[in-house]
């Protein structure tokens, strides 16, 4: 392996840190590398061509008061596959907040579990959401450029998907929304369009937009809601976009006092707003369903007069009645999908009758679903999901779920090995939905190393076809994406 250290950042954290989200599988990585001629066990498929990207929350300095993992700065990890070879890079996202704290050598913004008044100074950019925009939640590639985003709405930070060179912020010809953009914008690989939403504490409380392949904002509409909400994801079909108004939302009294606190209303139905992709506010149709909170949608598609939506229904969104974790894990119960009781679920919205039907599709606690990107918004059969570790926000297994038959294939890893959100990368010239590869990063606590693992998506039981060594063990994190070479 050839490794070039590009930059090493000074950490303001204690060397013997025991915080559960600044140690162990969440131990921060403060060095940036380029690496090539990587060590490989097995063989990298020559028909795997594209880029796998993952975002990671990375702690840099002691917090002003409390630390939550989502307070960490965004660090992207990129591995590029080309003709049987692979190259790795990692870089911090150079957000305005990251650069300001690097200059100050300390935390300047209050964390998401603190009152914003705890911030040391008003550094302007945090004002959009009263929080630091760290661009650490999600990543997607649009128009050949990687976009890093923040779940509380912020800028879209642009990077070269292969080298991770900083390309500044997104402008969309000067029409980037003042409200920012939430994490989980969605790419339609067939049209090249990017679909996004944002939300805020002021009416109309949500907006929805579409950006074309050339980076032009072609649709941007109000989505009026009854009050401030906490949406996290959207879904789309070939002709429609599905937005949501779920009964886990901001407490209005807390907002009036200048901070965020959420509440779940079991007496309020879930609502789904279905709008034609380039429709208007007046075109939005609302459907009601059982109350829940959904962190992530799997996919959606049209089936005659119906829209089919798959996602993960939380049966206990606020960890009510759950046994509280002790010690250093106290207060992080809502990061454990086992406590929130997330289960795969399917909703059907009948556009002819206005009726909603719904049903569970799995009994396992899973989350962070991915599908073959060529099937996003189209009929899908398979989803690739992460199994959530008990007591910690991390993933210890992969599950391929056949939504037609209900069958689930489980891939478990050695004790102490955790994986990333796993993408499905179609092989060149693929003919079937699962004709390709699953790609994930691992963090091996026992051997203090990380690898990129590649599996044949149709034959998971045969184990990885390639295990590719990385320069340093990487931290656990959140979201990832796959961009085929033809889309770069």
pLDDT band at 448 (very low <50, low <70, confident <90, very high): very high
pLDDT for res 333: 79
pLDDT for res 479: 98
Q: Which of 19-33, 98-112, 139-153, 414-428 is least confident?
A: 98-112
pLDDT for res 128: 45
pLDDT for res 328: 55
| Three-point CA angle 80, 81, 83, nearest 5° | 145
Q: Which of 72-76, 386-390, 398-402 is least confident?
A: 386-390
CA distances from 177 to 221, 222, 461 (A): 11, 12, 46
* Helix, strand, coil percentages for the chain (3-state, nearest 5): 10, 45, 45
Say how many domains are in the chain: 1
pLDDT for res 321: 62
Higher pLDDT, 261 or 272: 272
pLDDT for res 126: 45
pLDDT for res 254: 76
Chain-centroid distance, C-alpha 91 = 18
User: Mean pLDDT for the chain?
Assistant: 93
Q: Is 346 helix (H, G, I), strand (E, B) or coil?
A: strand
pLDDT for res 475: 96
Token pair 């401030």 in the structure block, residue? 228
The mean per-residue pLDDT over the stretch 119-136 comes to 68
pLDDT for res 322: 59
For every residue of 393-411, DSSP letters joined together read S-EEEEEEEETTT--EEEE
pLDDT for res 437: 98
Q: Which of 136-145, 204-213, 250-259, 412-421 is least confident?
A: 250-259
Domain coverage including residue 125: 2-487
pLDDT for res 31: 97
For residue 121, count other CB atoms closer than 10 A to its CB. 10
Q: What is the pLDDT of residues 280-294, one digit of tens each?
A: 999 999 999 999 999
Q: Is the pLDDT of residue 218 over 90?
A: yes
Q: What is the pLDDT of residues 466-480, one digit of tens each?
A: 999 999 999 999 999
pLDDT band at 26 (very low <50, low <70, confident <90, very high): very high
pLDDT band at 120 (very low <50, low <70, confident <90, very high): confident
441: CATH? 2.120.10.30
Of 419, 488, 479, the C-alpha closest to 455 is: 419
Of all residues in the chain, the percent with pLDDT exceeding 70 is 95
pLDDT for res 255: 74
């Amino acid at each position: 392996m050839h490794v070039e250290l590009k930059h090493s950042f000074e950490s303001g954290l204690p060397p013997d840190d025991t915080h559960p989200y600044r140690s162990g599988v969440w131990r921060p990585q403060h060095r940036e590398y380029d690496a090539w001629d990587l060590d490989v066990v097995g063989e990298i498929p020559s028909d795997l061509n594209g880029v796998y990207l993952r975002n990671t929350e990375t702690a840099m300095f002691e917090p002003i008061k409390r630390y939550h993992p989502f307070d960490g700065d965004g660090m992207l990890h990129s591995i590029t596959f080309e003709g049987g070879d692979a190259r790795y890079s990692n870089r911090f996202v150079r957000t305005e907040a990251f650069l300001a704290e690097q200059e100050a050598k300390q935390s300047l913004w209050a964390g998401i579990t603190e009152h914003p008044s705890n911030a040391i100074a008003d550094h302007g950019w945090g004002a959009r959401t009263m929080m630091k925009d760290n661009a650490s939640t999600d990543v997607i590639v649009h128009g050949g450029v990687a976009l890093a985003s923040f779940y509380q709405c912020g800028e879209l930070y642009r990077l070269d998907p292969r080298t991770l060179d900083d390309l500044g912020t997104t402008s969309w010809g000067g029409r980037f929304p003042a409200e920012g953009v939430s994490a989980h914008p969605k790419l339609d690989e067939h049209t090249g369009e990017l679909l996004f939403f944002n939300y805020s504490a002021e009416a109309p409380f949500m907006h929805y937009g579409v950006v074309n392949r050339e980076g032009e904002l072609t649709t941007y509409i109000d989505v009026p809601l009854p009050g401030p909400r906490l949406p996290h994801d959207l879904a789309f079909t070939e002709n429609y976009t599905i937005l949501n108004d779920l009964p886990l939302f901001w407490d209005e009294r807390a907002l009036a006092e200048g901070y965020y606190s959420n509440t779940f209303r079991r007496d309020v139905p879930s609502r789904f707003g279905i709008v034609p992709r380039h429709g208007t506010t007046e075109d939005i149709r609302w459907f009601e369903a059982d109350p829940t909170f959904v962190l992530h949608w799997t996919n959606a598609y049209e089936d005659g007069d119906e829209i089919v939506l798959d996602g993960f229904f939380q049966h206990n969104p606020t960890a009510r009645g759950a046994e509280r974790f002790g010690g250093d894990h106290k207060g992080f119960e809502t990061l454990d999908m086992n406590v929130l009781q997330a289960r795969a679920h399917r909703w059907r919205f009948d556009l002819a009758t206005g009726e909603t039907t719904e049903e569970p599709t799995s009994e396992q606690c899973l989350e962070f679903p991915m599908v073959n990107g060529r099937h996003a918004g189209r009929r899908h059969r398979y989803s690739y999901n992460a199994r959530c570790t008990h007591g910690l926000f991390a993933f210890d297994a992969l599950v391929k779920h056949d939504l037609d038959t209900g069958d689930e294939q489980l891939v478990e890893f050695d004790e102490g090995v955790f994986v990333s959100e796993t993408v499905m990368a179609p092989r060149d010239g693929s003919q079937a939905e699962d004709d390709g590869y699953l790609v994930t990063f691992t963090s091996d606590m026992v051997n203090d190393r990380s690898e990129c693992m590649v599996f044949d998506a149709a034959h998971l039981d045969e184990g990885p076809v390639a295990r590719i060594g990385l320069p340093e063990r990487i931290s656990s994190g959140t979201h990832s994406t796959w961009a085929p070479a033809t889309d770069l």
